[in-house]
Amino acid sequence: MTYLLGLRMDGRDALVVGGGRVAQRRVPVLLESGARVTLVAPQVTATLEDLADSGRITWHRRGFRAGDVAGGGLGSFWLVHAATDSAETNAAVAAEAEGERVWCVRADDRHASAAWTPATGGAAGVTVGVVANGDPRRAAGLRDAVVEGLADGSLDARRGRERNRGVALVGGGPGDPGLITVRGRQLLAQADVVVVDRLAPNSLLESLPADVEIVDAAKIPYGRSMTQDDINDALVRHARAGRFVVRLKGGDPFLFGRGGEEALACAQAGVPVTVVPGITSALAAPAGAGIPVTHRGVAQDVHVVSGHVPPGDPRSTVDWPALARAGGTVVALMAVERIEAIAAALMEHGRAPQTPVALVQEATMPTQRTVRATLATAGRAVRESEVRPPTVIVIGEVVDVAGELDILHMGRAESGPGGASADTAVGDPPEGNRIL
């Protein structure tokens, strides 16, 4: 039987003897807890050497010596880890720690160890530690099950004494519900109110408790949706009523997601705001289609632009002539309706009509498809292939790299306008076609 205890190591000294793979796992956890770590080992892994070179740990480049735990000039320790590949050395470290009444974790022999390191994890503001009679594999499995339950809401984390307050702006990722961040999933599981867009991973809402209020902001292009002022008002109103509000958005909230406006509205109303970045479709959609937005010798720069207003419109702040001259990759969001005007502007200012274009529709979803064209044929490709939002447009020579790599075909290849190819998804794409 063990007595479980959470050690607060912030500002306290810990000794790790050994510099191999076990030490490499233990040291970062100690650093995250705030401990001051001293490492004793003649050789260490590259990761531990980097921590020493950066000054984050103190490394004594030698083997363990008698007296290292018992005030041999290294300091006074609260916790010791014996993690060498020598049972004799580990036994000596443990014996000295026992004599000094310092808890020692012995990595090689759980039965001889005075303390066991639990399998730890965190979710929903909860730290989980599992000790399974010193069996690390079983403890890790149980830990993972509990953490997953906290993260997905199947274990209710909303009943604690200290509840989350205010508003969390959560980026839900490009579409696939598995691509929301761990932090985003944790906060969603604790929400009292969720204000959600149509491009957010809406399937995640099904796992929420029945008493969570869902506010549908829609955001349907040219269709029914809440105004931004109404969204801002809903966030502030529910937060002021003492509810924890999650604003679940597609992609990243601060990349053409108007997250800055929502954060500002909350701040002006005195409502605390947490921002959780998301995987933006500007990068995920090209990756899902096998297109590296940068590639050695092809493109060293990427320009992400909004196409919600066309080139030449007084409301546009995009320098299209500069983009044409730059020659790098251009990723255009919200641009399907404006692709002909965008292509014309780029060609007018120097981009070749043969410049490759990829239109990635419903990226990372089972219905994802990629239509390939050129600047000269992009508008016709949109019409003939009936490309519709949400679609991310990639312009540049990197589009051809995807064909050379030949790693993420999305079903059958068809001939597109001007000889361009169209990769069209048929049912669920093969597992290799998904970003997981």
- pLDDT value of residue 220: 55
Active-site residue, from 192, 197, 252, 423? 197
Q: Which two tokens stand for residue 139?
A: 């403890």
- In this prediction, residue 126 carries a pLDDT of 75
| Average pLDDT rounded to a whole number, residues 397-405 | 86
| DSSP H helical ranges for 200-338 | 228-240, 259-268, 281-288, 320-326
pLDDT digits (tens, 9 = 90+) for 218-244: 765 544 568 999 999 999 999 999 999
For the beta carbon of residue 333, count every other beta carbon within 10 angstroms: 23
The answer to whether the beta carbons of residues 281 and 363 sit under 8 Å apart is yes
Question: Please, what is the Cα angle at 370 between 366 and 374, to 5 degrees?
Answer: 170
Rounded Cα distance between 357 and 343, Å, is 10
Percent of the chain with pLDDT over 70: 87
pLDDT at position 431, please? 36
pLDDT tens-digit map of 69-92 = 986 678 789 999 999 999 999 999
pLDDT at 421: 45
Q: Which residue has the tokens 């730890």?
A: 120
Task: Measure the CA–CA gap between 355 and 332, rounded to whole angstroms.
Answer: 15
Q: Cα 250–252–253 angle (5° rounding)? A: 90
Which residues, including other chains, have CB under 8 Å from residue 325's CB and lie 6 or more apart? 349, 350
- Residue whose C-alpha is closest to residue 240's, from 259, 268, 217: 268
- Is 135 considered catalytic here? no
Beta strands in 8-153 (DSSP E): 13-17, 36-40, 58-60, 79-82, 103-106, 119-123, 126-130
Tens-place pLDDT, residues 25-62: 899 989 999 999 999 999 999 999 999 999 999 999 99
Which of the following is catalytic: 176, 219, 249, 252? 219
| Mean pLDDT confidence for 171-176 | 95
pLDDT of residue 134: 67
How high is the pLDDT of residue 410? 42
Average pLDDT value for residue range 351-364? 96
Q: What is the pLDDT of residue 74?
A: 82
> Dihedral angle at the C-alpha atoms of 63, 69, 70, 73, nearest 10 degrees?
60
Spatial contact of 197 and 250, defined as CB atoms under 8 Å apart: yes
| Lowest pLDDT segment from 116-130, 172-186, 398-412 | 398-412
Q: How many residues does the chain have?
A: 436
Is 233 assigned a catalytic role? no
pLDDT band (50, 70, 90) for residue 360: very high
What rounded mean pLDDT belongs to the chain? Answer: 87
Mean pLDDT of 327-355: 96
Residue 433 reports pLDDT greater than 60: no
For residue 99, what pLDDT is reported?
93
Q: List, as one string, the DSSP characters of 341-388.
A: HHHHHHHHTT--TT-EEEEEESTTSTT-EEEEEETTTHHHHHHHTT--
Q: List for the chain the helix, strand, coil content (%; round to 5).
A: 30, 20, 45
Both structure tokens of 406:
């030949």
**pLDDT for 156:** 64
What pLDDT score does 408 carry? 45
pLDDT over threshold 80, residue 267: yes
pLDDT of residue 219: 60
Look at residue 428 in the predicted model and tell me its pLDDT: 33
Q: What pLDDT does residue 419 have?
A: 42
- Looking at the chain, the whole-number percentage of residues with pLDDT higher than 90 is 67
Measure Cα distances from 391 to 248, 324, 348, 395 in Å.
20, 21, 24, 13
